[in-house]
Structure 1
């Protein structure tokens, strides 16, 4: 069974792995400033964000990456899945996005579609390695 990277529990794929690095709560003066120059609705900026932050997950093994990409593909194939809910933050939660645009992206689905497409490129070798294995043995 595939285990979580930091705790000894079963790994459950979650799309927050892709966008959690954009949380700037209590880091507004550092990470917030760093990310504040990007517009997530701008395609070129979005690609830079995805390459630099969404797919820069060194703590994950090639198997974790494979499972996350498969999970994302499943969500993208569901036309009713609401990607905007991933960007909504309750007031009682200690989280915040770097810019106001993050709270209401023009197309959160397109953001994740771009994550999927770039993951196929950036993680290509990892995904091929995992695909060649029998996932039932993980």
Structure 2
């Protein structure tokens, strides 16, 4: 299992990791208002959201690779429920911008993340792909 060197905890990403940057809980007047300018159902707005927010996070090239691969696996699973990732849980201290839980096609949103991540992260993905991934794991 890959251990995140920063936290020394196992790094087991899910596609929801791409959404953390959109969490407006306790930031409704700042990030929330900023994100309200964009419509995730509009392809041009979606590209800005993904490139300017979702793919800009501080991740190592190995984390990017594992995250990219976990999204790839989810997209290959025709039954993967991307809508569930957008559902608001009133018992959690997190929330996405208003209306995101009613996104027209959440799968398209994540397909765009995958496509853009492949472009934006291309060098990091190639670097990780070239490594012996068995050296990333502690037994």
- Alignment-derived partner of residue 86 in structure 1: 85
- Alignment-derived partner of residue 37 in structure 1: 37
- Alignment-derived partner of residue 135 in structure 1: 133
Q: After TM superposition, where is structure 1 displaced by more than 4 Å over at least 4 residues in a row?
A: none
Root-mean-square deviation (Å): 1.2
Shift of 1:2: 2.3
Segments of 5+ residues of structure 2 without an aligned counterpart are: none
TM-score by length of 2: 0.93
Moved more, 109-118 or 88-97: 88-97
Deviation track 1:63-82 (CA, whole Å, cap 9, x = no partner) reads 11001111100000000001
- Alignment-derived partner of residue 105 in structure 1: 103
* CA distance in structure 1 between the aligned counterparts of 2:15 and 2:24, rounded to whole angstroms: 17
- Alignment-derived partner of residue 116 in structure 2: 118
Work out whether residues 15 and 74 of structure 2, in 8 Å CA contact, stay in contact via their aligned partners in 1.
Answer: no
How many matched pairs? 136
Shift of 1:6: 4.6
TM-score by length of 1: 0.94
SS in 2 for 1:26: coil
Segments of 5+ residues of structure 1 without an aligned counterpart are: none
